[in-house]
Every structure is written in C-alpha cells, then in structure tokens.
Amino acid sequence: MAENDAPTENNVPSGDNSKPPENENEISIDALAKKVQESLSLSKRHKFWETQPVGQFKDLGDTSLPEGPIEQPTPLSEVKQEPYNLPGPYEWITCDLDSEEVCNEVYALLTNNYVEDDENMFRFNYSKEFLRWALRPPGYFRSWHIGVRVKSSKKLVAFITGIPAKIRVHDAVVLMAEVNFLCVHKKLRSKRLAPVMIKEVTRRVHLENIWQAAYTAGVVLPTPITTCQYWHRSLNPKKLIDVGFSRLGARMTMSRTIKLYKLPEQTATPGFRKMEPHDVPAVTRLLRNYLKQFVVAPDFDENDIEHWLLPKEDVIDSYLVESPETHEITDFCSFYTLPSSILGNQNHSILKAAYSYYNVATKTPLLQLMNDALIVAKKKDYDVFNALDVMQNETFLKELKFGPGDGKLHYYLYNYRLRHVLRPSELGLVLL
C-alpha cells in the first residue's frame, strides 16, 4: 500500500499460513537490506528516504556512528511557516475528529483505501470510536490530523496523522510523534502525494519543537530498528477457513480443527476481572515497572494509562488480576479491536480481530494470563486473536496455538539512530 517508497502502517492480518520461519532467528536486517538494495535498480532506490535523517542501509554495522539524534533541532523561527505545496487541484485541511461529518469522511477514506493484504481479501476497517481513541491521547495536536481535499469537489482523498508520545530509548526519554494512518485514495497513487504528506506532518511536528518520530510499515525502508512478525490464534476456525484467512491443515477435518482450537468456558485465574477507573494508579505502576526491561518502550504516566487502557466497548479491552487475599493488582492483559472488511465473500463481511496490546505477568504465569485473554475474546465473539512477537510474547505463542502469519511489521525511528538492530523481544512498544 505504500505510494512508491513512502511508509504505510501495514500490519494487516495477512492470513495464518503457518509456514515455519525461514530460519528460527529471522533473516538479519543486514541481509534483508542487501536483498532490497540488489532488487532495486539505482533509479528506484529510496529517493525520498535517502534525503531524510533516518538510518541508511550503507551505515549498517558502522558502530562508530553515535547513538541518538541524527540531526540537531533547528531554531523554531527557521522551521518553514507555511505548508508545502500540493499539486494544483488539491488543498490541505486539518481534520477535526470531534466533528461527526469529518470523522465519517476519514472513516470512509480509510475503509475503502487503507491497508489490504497481498491477495486483496481483507482491508482494515477502523471504527470511528477507534480513530477518536487512537488520535486524541492526552496532549494531542489537532493540527497533526492532516487531510488533503480536492478543491473543486471538497472530497477527502488523503490523510496522515501524528500523535505525541514519550518514548524511552535505553535511558533517554524522548518526546516523539507517532506517525500513522498514511492513506492516499487508490486513484491518486501515482501523484507522489505521500512524500509531500510526510514532509508536511514533519513540518507541523517541528513547529511543536519535537524532532523525532516512530512509525511502522509493512515494507522495508531505510532502516528498521527491528522487524516483527504477526501471529494469529483462531477463535472461530470455521469462519476463518470459510473466508480464506486460514486453511484446513493437512490431514485435518473441520471438526478436528474446531476441537483443536476449543477454549474453556471460564477463565482460570482467581481474581481475574475487567479493569476499572480506580485501577489506573496500580496498572501504571505495574506497566512502568515491566517496560523498564526493554530497549525501546513508551514512558506512560497515569493520564496515558487512563486514555490507552481503560476499557472502551469495541475499542480496547483490559483485564487484571486482583489477588483475592491481598487485593494487590499483580497481573494485567489488554487487547484492542480492529476488524477487517472481508472483500468479495457472500456470507461474511467483517472479520472481528483482537490485537494483543500490553500484558504484564508477575504472579500469574503469562501463558495462563493470555489463555484467559483468549477465553474472554472468544466469549465476546472475536474470530481471531493477533499478537506480534514483541516483549515476552514469544514465550506463549506456540504453546497457545498461535500460527505465524505471512506478514512482517518493520519499526522505524525518524531522526534517531540506534547502534544495533533490536530483537523483537527487546521492543516494548505497540503502535496501532
């Protein structure tokens, strides 16, 4: 879905093809970069990204380069004050997501034009409630919700967003923008709008004196800080097979498959319950403590936890374990809701997917905690539960019958260099 080599947030459910990884340790990013560079003719190399302050493939493995910002901030007075020029028929707008009408337009643009899987069978279907949640965290800037309209018809044809986030890299807490939802109408993909949109969101971020950003893409750009894989756990195997998301395994019947993925009716952990507003301080402590072990992770405070993790119907679900004896909050799990439209299927139009978000196990085994999360997701009629192999997720994926998908998600930092590529287990950050 990238327009030429602009980034997309491509974590579309790519189907559970349960192919073994090419090797257990994942192809190294150096090898991947080499492959990419060989496959791109000189004229096609990432023209746009080679002009940007991001890690470049040619510098991979050069440990003499310092870690941290690649370029120093410029004085705010020197940041370009007026927007970049768009091609003649188009104009910039700032999207006010409080407006029902604007929210509907953004929803329609994304629903019809955003990330699809390689076979064009599924496309993300972000709900309006989800978009408002994802784009209006504490301290957000409305000016970072950027749209492009056709001047004559006023039709919204492109969109890109940023939200502010405090992200810790090793010991440094850096104020960054998380850039997301880059979407250009299918009919305008040849217009080179995406690089202008990236430059414009960057300019608006700079105006707030923020000089770093984090983003993800399903394509390889210069240069990932890590590459993660999606894993899928069938909750409704019959439907997933019917719509082509998964396939019946060799020598497997439908009834054996249904039996294989069957979950208990009830959760197993005493004191497992839904998170409530009064739990915010305890969950904040638990999560902050847990995230310390990762090289790159968010630096959440109570306001962030309240926004990102308090349950919201069909947006975010959070559960915790409160010790029946001491009433201490010992464990926590969460998942967000991101359905996909099923394209061209007579019987089903929506795939209801849960995505693992932040999970912390201190007293309950992580395996048991996540099995309880699967049980509540199944009870709420989710078809599939997805998880990246970040943080400690790898320790439960195979055991809980997740299968590897065929999609990769690459994480990037803008204007910030890491000396070493991370393993997915060193990453404590989930971007929506």
Residues with catalytic annotation?
Answer: 432
- Asked if 108 contacts 155 with a C-beta cutoff of 8 angstroms, the reply is no
Q: How far is CA 3 from CA 188, 205, 215, in A?
A: 9, 22, 16
- The Cα 148–Cα 157 span in angstroms is 6
CB atoms within 10 A of CB 247: 14
Q: How far is CA 407 from CA 118, 130, 178, 249, 339, in A?
A: 9, 23, 21, 19, 17
- The Cα 385–Cα 267 span in angstroms is 16
- The Cα 367–Cα 379 span in angstroms is 18
Q: What is the dihedral of CA 118, 122, 127, 133, to 10 degrees?
A: -40
- The Cα 61–Cα 145 span in angstroms is 36
- The Cα 218–Cα 381 span in angstroms is 28
Nearest one of 122, 187, 123 to 155, comparing CA atoms? 187
Quickly tell me which residue has 């019959």 as its tokens.
238
- Three-state DSSP state, 315: coil
Q: What is the dihedral of CA 304, 310, 313, 319, to 10 degrees?
A: 130
What number of H helices and E strands is found in the chain?
Answer: 10, 17
150-157's contacts with Cβ under 8 Å and 24+ in sequence apart are 150/89, 150/90, 151/89, 151/90, 151/91, 152/89, 156/93, 156/95, 156/105, 156/106, 156/108, 156/109, 157/90, 157/109, 157/184, 157/185, 157/188
Query: Token pair of 403, please?
Result: 């299968």
Region at 197 (left for phi over 0; alpha for psi -120 to 50; beta for the rest): alpha
> DSSP labels for 83-130?
PPPPPTTEEEEE--TTSHHHHHHHHHHHHHHS-B-TTS-EEE---HHH
- Asked if 254 contacts 238 with a C-beta cutoff of 8 angstroms, the reply is yes
